[in-house]
Amino acid sequence: MSYYGENFPKLGFGLMRMPTLPGGKDVDIEQVKKMVDIYMENGYYYFDTAFMYHGGASETAFREAVARRYPREKFHITDKMPLWDIKGPEDYERIFAQQLEKCGVEYFDLYFLHGIGTDRLKLLDETGGWDFLKKVKERGQVKHIGFSFHSPADTLEKILDAHPEVEVVQLQVNYYDWESESVQARKCWESARRHGIGVIIMEPIRGGSLASMAPDIEKLFLNKNPDVSVASWALRWCASLEGIVTVLSGMSNIAQMEDNIKTMKSFKPLTDDERAVIDDVIKALKAQPTIDCTACKYCVNDCPQHINTPGIFSSFNEYKIFKNLNNTRFGYSMATSKGGKAKDCIECGSCENHCPQNLPIIELLKEAAELYDK
């Protein structure tokens, strides 16, 4: 049976960006409980967590806010196996048992292998990851199985050909990444459709990028309809696709939740006029001037400060396109977690000698430092 057949309300609660207490680390569980209550009162019941969300605290937050407060038959919960923690076959059962306990449930409605990419296929074959997935389903500890995916569409096609037992796949889909060379959202969605399996959409608002943009671009939406949020366009675009099980939204506060619920409760597929507005927005976003870095990494090896320049430029470009600084801070902190920050550049010039794009790397890093390192 395809999981798609379950016919869910089209708004899923992604538990990866929950509100936090002052300091930004611990989950604000009382706030989450309020959000859960609003979500459930409105007829929604699909929750998505993972071992690593919120530094391991998402599953226990789910237990406190949902599993201990609502009868088991009133909600659906999806959890995911962290493949980067798998060193051998025995790790699957150990982690899975922890997850059931942390979530406070005896079974998961849906269980994923988390973040399958080209680089994890060998590990899965060598450690029996696919067999483990089938086993927990046979044991009744999981009702439906699938995986979340972050790689090119031809890899997805091969996996789905080889694993007809998969019932659903979670994909990064949004209007901005639909034709992206790297994300390949359209091609991945088409592959899932060809295989007749359901699609759960993650990052419909692209981590918040599609919720706020430069005022002149937002105006394209507001001119068409001043009464709805910019984010609502992104949600409706995703929910208008065929074969969608649900659209996850990583809601961080009650206002976002209420806006999402307002959008999805009165959901209507996009009209042709509205699609034309989104096409104009995509064109305007793609026309924003960005740094022409191809991520070839020729600049990285000889940098005495171990600066991950292409990683920094990737975050900087996100800022240049969407003008939302906070949304790009995480990418910047990841890009600089193992080496120097933009401000650490000592202007030796070695990188500029290697750059095939002839980029003024030193000047661009100074701009990035102004933005991120103050």
Instruction: Give residues in contact with ligand SF4 (CB under 6 A).
Output: 293-299, 303-305, 307, 309-310, 345-351, 354-355, 357, 359, 361-362, 365
Q: How far is the CB of 315 from ligand SF4 (least distance, A)?
A: 13
Q: How far is the CB of 332 from ligand SF4 (least distance, A)?
A: 15
Contact 89, 128 (CB under 8 A): yes
What contacts 319, CB < 8 A, 6 or more positions away?
Answer: 325, 328, 371
d(CA 167, CA 109): 12
Nearer to ligand SF4, 22 or 356 (CB): 356
Contact 8, 267 (CB under 8 A): no
Residue 227 vs residues 116, 247, 263, 310, 367: alpha-carbon distances, Å = 39, 22, 11, 39, 36
Q: How far is the CB of 300 from ligand SF4 (least distance, A)?
A: 7
Nearer to ligand SF4, 25 or 297 (CB): 297
The packing angle between helices 325-335 and 309-322, to 10°, is 170
Q: How far is the CB of 339 from ligand SF4 (least distance, A)?
A: 9
Nearer to ligand SF4, 295 or 325 (CB): 295
Q: How far is the CB of 356 from ligand SF4 (least distance, A)?
A: 6
Strands 76-82 and 108-116, by their bridges, are parallel
203: left (phi over 0), alpha (psi -120 to 50) or beta: left
Type of residue found at 372? Y
Q: Where are the beta strands (DSSP E) in the chain?
A: 11-14, 46-48, 76-82, 108-116, 142-149, 168-172, 198-202, 244-249
Nearer to ligand SF4, 58 or 309 (CB): 309
Type of residue found at 238? C
Nearer to ligand SF4, 117 or 310 (CB): 310
Nearer to ligand SF4, 94 or 297 (CB): 297
Nearer to ligand SF4, 257 or 365 (CB): 365
Residue in this structure with the two tokens 């790397």, named with its chain if needed: 361
Nearer to ligand SF4, 225 or 337 (CB): 337
d(CA 322, CA 282): 11
Contact 261, 39 (CB under 8 A): yes
Q: How far is the CB of 242 from ligand SF4 (least distance, A)?
A: 38
Q: How far is the CB of 374 from ligand SF4 (least distance, A)?
A: 18
Q: How far is the CB of 372 from ligand SF4 (least distance, A)?
A: 15
Contact 31, 268 (CB under 8 A): no
